[in-house]
Amino acid sequence: MEQSIDQKTFLCSPEQMEKIQKFIQKELLKRGFLSKIIEFKEICKNHYTNYFKLKTEDFQTTPVIFESLFISNFGGSAYNDRDEDVIIFHLPINVFYEIMDGGKNSSLLFTVSAKLTTDGEDVYALTAS
């Protein structure tokens, strides 16, 4: 049964989302991807597990060999670990591409993992692997 919008809960505070977004942007830069993140949002599923949407601006290679090329996530979630009283966050970051004849695919670049305090104030154990 689908919950009404007012019953859904964001697990991450705006401050935590901003810290994670800045971390991802820096990790992309370290790997040579200069494309800016244009969308990063939490999608409410229920009170315990939420999903995320991340997307960058489209970019190209030189010479141009792709019709479309951008960074996004493929899956990923955050859930409330009641035993530790923290939010566990995992987000796989992928490069998505469409070749000129229409084929599409993606490849994993790295996965961001973190623990977030349930009071919305802190992000710790933030890693990219």
What is the per-residue pLDDT across 63-103, written as a single tens digit (0 to 9) for each? 999 999 999 998 899 998 878 889 999 999 999 999 998 89
What is the per-residue pLDDT across 15-47, written as a single tens digit (0 to 9) for each? 999 999 999 999 999 999 999 999 999 998 766
Phi, psi dihedrals of residue 83, rounded to the nearest 5° = -65, -40
Phi, psi dihedrals of residue 49, rounded to the nearest 5° = -135, 130
CA angle 113, 34, 56 (to 5 degrees): 65
**How far is residue 123 from each of residues 28, 33, 43, 116, measured CA to CA in Å?**
19, 24, 19, 5
